[in-house]
Every structure is written in C-alpha cells, then in structure tokens.
Amino acid sequence: MYSIQRWRTAYQNAFEARMDWCVKPFDGANHEPAAALNGDTGIGVLRIRTDPGAEVKLSAAGSSDPDGNRLSYRWWTYVEAGTYWAEAPIRGAGECDAVVTVPQDASGRTVHIILEATDDGRPPLTAYRRAILEASGERVPSPAGTERPDPGKPVTHLGGPPEKTGPWTFYRGINVGGGPVEIDGRKWEGDNARDFVCQDRQLNSPQVPLIPPTDPARARMIHAFRWNREPRLALTGVPNGRYAVYAYVWEETSPETLTISLNGRKVVAEYNSGDAGQWQRLGPWEVDVTDGRIEIASRGGAANFSGLEIWNKAGGSPAATPERTPKKEDTK
C-alpha cells in the first residue's frame, strides 16, 4: 500500500461504497461520479500539444453524478509521472475550470495534470482524469539533482562526479541514521562518524519497497535515515578545497516539497519527494570549503536524508566558478 499512499482516502471510500452496494438498493448507496475533461466524457488520457509559457485551459464541465450529488474539483500536477521536474502553476485549482501555465523551461518535456471530481455523498467518491501537456521545442536540461532515475530499472552502481569537471577522489560517505556499509565499492562510515553532526530524528523503515529497486547495501543505507521539517546535517574538520556533494533523499510515506541548501546556497528548489519508496541521489553540487564545514539544510516539507557522499577535486583550491554545476550522471 505504500506506493499508492496518495490515493488512500479515495480507494478506501470506494471500497466502503462497494460494500454498501452488496446490502443496499441503488438509491440507498453512493456511486462514483463521471469526470469530463475538456468535453471528453470517456476515461482515457487527454494529450495536449502546447508551447513553453503558454496558458492551457482545462475544464471539468460536463462532469456528472449518477446520484445527483454536488461535485467539487481539484487540479494538481503529478510531478512523478511527467518529465518536467517541478509543479506547474495552476489558476483555479479548486474550480471547475482551471488554467495551467506551462513553465518556460519545460521545452521538450511533459507536464501531467490530474483532475479529481469528488461528490458529496456518503462516503464521498472520486473520479480521476489526466491531461498530459506536451511542450514543444528541444528538451531543456534539468537543473542539477532533479533528474529522476528510471523507476523500473534497478540501480546497481552509481559513479562519481563528471570527469570533465575533475579529476575527483572519493572523500567520505556517511550512512545517515545507519551503520558502516560498502556502496559502489567504496567504504562508507556510519551515523556515529567522526565530525558528523545531526540532531534530527533517526528512523529505519526496511519494510517500504524502494523505487527504483537497488542493491542490498544501498537499500540498507536508504532505509535508515534522519528526518525533520528543517533538518540540518554537517560535516566538520573538512580541509580547504573544492568538493562535490551528493545527498540521498527518499520518501517513506507521502510526497513532500523541499528546498535544499548547501553551505547556505540554494541548490534545489521545490523538489517533490515522490510517492512512498521513491529515492534519489541528488547532486553533485560543487562547493568551495574555506571554513572546514560542509552543511546540508532543507526547509518546506518533512525531509528524509539517508546519505551524504562527498568527493574532493584533486588540487582543488577554492576558485571563482559558477554556482550551478553540471547535472548528475544518469543511472548506470
């Protein structure tokens, strides 16, 4: 049930209604509404070709309820299903008619919009429709740390930062919330590692299936974590130099929206953690260390941090370089 946490209330209500159908006459039980999407009264996905920056009008007009109940509407971005990495602005998200603004940087990507039509019967029942907005143009590279791995492809090895920005040497890996472990052939330290500081709550949830699946050692690392609404993880005693930092984050229950900073600099904005079980190695983010400290912080929703992976640039003394860094390597 963890992978469908977002839909829990709706499917539990649907199950309750079906039990009513077994013992009550038709007019004594509630039945699901029928959701219309831009005049389409079927149940299929509606694909809409559009342009970056365009305003797309969506309408639930024509939706109906077999029991004559009143309907309410909700529109939202299904980030995990699309190839665009963030939510699209929606005007009228709680109305029958809504307007979605396609982000300017969504060129060549898809934005999935979900319509929920819910009646006011007992129990309230919900019908769903999906619109896929296909933005024209050449695909724009995603910001560093926002490209998700293929959820159906097992992750068995992840490399280091791009060689063209290096050379890089593995510095330290910290299994946040867990013990020492070997990942990708590199030895990681446990949560009690020297100079590692984190006061956030510690948990371990091995019962949650990971998406995508991964090797046993990485899975143990991901399942053990520390969490809070404003977590802070720091490594002190770091020699001066240039470093590339990865952070493993995952979702144990339901989606949260996070803004993550490295040494006070925002590196990921409005990151959606996904459904239960989804994980990602965010980064690499480059940083010049001059005060012996590498610190990751997050705000917004409740964040689960499982691991810190830090690489040192050979001969990498602090230098003036752009804040944005190349996007992380694809899953191998």
Does 256 reside within a domain? yes
Give, in order, the Cα–Cα distances in Å from 61 to each of 64, 73, 266.
9, 10, 41
Report pLDDT digits (tens) over 33-57. 999 999 999 999 999 999 999 999 9
The alpha carbon of residue 243 and the mean position of all alpha carbons in its chain are separated, in whole angstroms, by 25
Q: What pLDDT is recorded for position 149?
A: 67
The alpha carbon of residue 98 and the mean position of all alpha carbons in its chain are separated, in whole angstroms, by 24
Task: Kindly state whether residues 183 and 307 are assigned to the same domain.
Answer: yes
Helix (H, G, I), strand (E, B) or coil at 276: coil
Q: What pLDDT is recorded for position 109?
A: 93
Length of the chain: 332
Tell me the pairing of strands 71-77 and 110-119. Answer: antiparallel
Task: Report the alpha-carbon distance of residue 237 to residue 267 in Å, rounded.
Answer: 22
Task: Kindly state whether residues 298 and 229 are assigned to the same domain.
Answer: yes
Specify the residue for token string 């129990």: 123
Does 83 reside within a domain? yes
Average pLDDT, 10 consecutive residues per value, the chain (332 residues): 67 95 96 97 95 97 97 93 89 96 94 97 97 93 68 88 92 98 98 97 96 96 97 97 97 90 92 88 95 96 96 67 33 32
Report pLDDT digits (tens) over 265-295. 999 887 888 888 999 999 999 999 999 999 9
Q: What pLDDT is recorded for position 195?
A: 97
Phi, psi (deg, nearest 5) at residue 49: -80, 135
Does 203 reside within a domain? yes
Does 261 reside within a domain? yes
For position 113, which CATH number holds? 2.60.40.10
Q: What pLDDT is recorded for position 111?
A: 96
Task: Kindly state whether residues 47 and 171 are assigned to the same domain.
Answer: no
Task: Kindly state whether residues 119 and 61 are assigned to the same domain.
Answer: yes
Task: Kindly state whether residues 129 and 241 are assigned to the same domain.
Answer: no
Task: Kindly state whether residues 22 and 120 are assigned to the same domain.
Answer: yes
Give the number of domains in the chain. 2
Task: Kindly state whether residues 218 and 292 are assigned to the same domain.
Answer: yes
For position 236, which CATH number holds? 2.60.120.430
Task: Kindly state whether residues 167 and 297 are assigned to the same domain.
Answer: yes
Could you tell me where the beta strands, DSSP code E, fall in the chain?
46-50, 55-59, 71-77, 90-91, 97-101, 110-119, 126-135, 168-175, 181-183, 186-188, 196-197, 201-204, 224-228, 232-236, 241-250, 257-262, 265-272, 279-289, 293-300, 303-313
Task: Kindly state whether residues 171 and 84 are assigned to the same domain.
Answer: no
Task: Report the alpha-carbon distance of residue 67 to residue 33 in Å, rounded.
Answer: 8
Last residue of a domain, one of 135, 151, 179: 135
Does 226 reside within a domain? yes
Specify the residue for token string 């803004």: 259
Q: What pLDDT is recorded for position 192?
A: 97
Q: What pLDDT is recorded for position 320?
A: 34
Task: Kindly state whether residues 169 and 292 are assigned to the same domain.
Answer: yes
Task: Kindly state whether residues 53 and 180 are assigned to the same domain.
Answer: no
Range of the domain at 112: 2-135
Give the Cβ contact number of residue 194 at 10 Å: 9
Q: What pLDDT is recorded for position 328?
A: 34
Last residue of a domain, one of 118, 135, 152: 135
Does 238 reside within a domain? yes
Predicted TM-score of the model (pTM): 0.63
Helices (H), ranges, the chain: 8-23, 216-223
Task: Kindly state whether residues 58 and 172 are assigned to the same domain.
Answer: no
